[in-house]
Amino acid sequence: MWKQRMIRLGLGALLAFSLIGWDTPTQSNPVQAQGPATFDCTAVTEIPQQECEALVALYDSTDGANWYTNADWVQSATPCSWYGVTCGAAGHVTSLELDTNGLQGAIPPELGNLTELEVLVLSHNYLEGAIPGTLGNLGHVWLFDLELNDL
C-alpha cells in the first residue's frame, strides 16, 4: 500500500512538472567535440593580421569555447572588443587580461607576435606546459602575470 502511494505521488509530480513546463532529466546523445575555431583574420582591420592570429591561436589552444567569459571572441571582426583585450591608439593589442577565466591547455608561441603588448595577465587558470620562448619578443611588457597555473 505504501509503495503504491509513493509511485502515485511520483507520477503525479512528474505530470505536474510536465504541465508547468519543467523538463525531467533525459538521457541525451553525447555532443561531439568540435575542432579549433575557424576565424578569418583577413577581415580584421583594427589590428595587424599577425596579432589577430595570435589571439585566435590563444583561443584555440586554451579551449576558448569553454572559458568562463569569452564575449565576442572569434565572433566579431573587432578583436579590440573581445573580452580581456585592450588595444592602443596605434592599432595594436596592448593588454591581454584573462585571469581566472578557465583557460586550459598550453600558451601558444604565437603570443610572441603581440610585440606592442604591455600587460599580459593569464594567472589563476589551468595553463600547462612550457612557457614559449617567443614571449621574449614582448619587449614592452611591464606586467607579466602567469601565477597559479601548471606551467
Q: What is the pLDDT of residues 93-119, one digit of tens each?
A: 999 999 999 999 999 999 999 999 999
Q: Taking the CB of residue 29, how many other CB atoms lie within 10 A of it?
A: 5
Question: Can you give the pTM of this predicted structure?
Answer: 0.76
Query: What nine digits make up the cell of 2?
Result: 505504501
State the pLDDT confidence band at 36, using cuts at 50, 70 and 90: low
Q: Is the pLDDT of residue 32 over 90?
A: no
Q: Taking the CB of residue 129, how many other CB atoms lie within 10 A of it?
A: 12
Q: What is the pLDDT of residues 2-26, one digit of tens each?
A: 444 444 444 444 334 344 444 434 3
Residue type, 123: S
